[in-house]
Amino acid sequence: MVNLKRWNTGPPQFLGPIHEYRALIINHEVGHRIGHGHEGCPGKGKPAPAMMQQIDGLHGCVANAWPYSPSGRYLGGPAAP
């Protein structure tokens, strides 16, 4: 869930454009709604999964708001606690 302040300004930890943060939040919360849990970084330099709690740090991944690559491949990572 995101509050109005975060929707308008984004969190201080997210350095990308606000529209990317908004897309990430929607994709992340819809992911929970359809049954996905949190995921970790799949490897240094790889896109962070939309189900990764990216505001807690990227842990070597690259910020990413989308659950799928442009070619349609799911951008997942290992299950996170």
Ramachandran quadrant class, 66 (left: phi over 0; alpha: psi -120 to 50; beta: rest): beta
Q: So what's the pLDDT on residue 81?
A: 82
This prediction has a pTM of: 0.90
Band the pLDDT of 16: cuts 50, 70, 90. confident
Q: Which of 4, 16, 14, 19 is nearest to 54 (CA)?
A: 14
Summarize pLDDT for 42-64 with one digit per residue, the tens. Answer: 999 999 999 999 989 999 999 99
49 contacts 64 by C-beta, under 8 angstroms? yes
pLDDT at residue 1 is higher than 80? no
67 contacts 50 by C-beta, under 8 angstroms? yes
Q: Work out the mean pLDDT of the chain and round it to a whole number.
A: 93
Largest CA distance in the chain: 34
Summarize pLDDT for 21-42 with one digit per residue, the tens. Answer: 999 999 999 999 999 999 999 9
